[in-house]
Structure 1
Amino acid sequence: MQRIKIRIASIEDSTSMSIIHANSWKKAYQDLLPDEYLNQIKDLRWVDMINKCLEDNTMKAWVLPSKKKL
């Protein structure tokens, strides 16, 4: 059995985390919010917020390192 290794997120993960967050919003709220609104959500919308929260320790997040890129 292969073990899964996760690690605490760092500033270097903020772009990927923002893209995942944006895509999650688009999928979760599909058919609930207007497409016009969801389509304007930029993938990098949350990068600054994630950076700030990781820097000041107001957010803890874990990531699963992968060789695949988004």
Structure 2
Amino acid sequence: MKQRCLKNGLRILHLLSTSKPELGITETSNSDGLNKSTVHRLMKTLEKEGFVLKEIKRRANISWGFHF
């Protein structure tokens, strides 16, 4: 289980570093084939650890960007 979570988190970081600088949960889910809930959980963990930043543009529009 831990290996799969790590692999999925790394896939998200790779996607953020090679695509648009900011992606939303739906865009990331569609691009990576992961469930939205999985993407959201992984993004929250990556944000907590300082790997991504969350930007709230509008009430319903949250995007995440790679941060190093």
- Alignment TM-score, normalising by the size of structure 2: 0.37
Larger Rg belongs to: 1
Compare the two structures and name the one with the higher strand fraction.
2
- Say which structure, 1 or 2, has more relative contact order (CA 8 Å, 6+ apart): 1
The normalised TM-score by structure 1 is 0.36
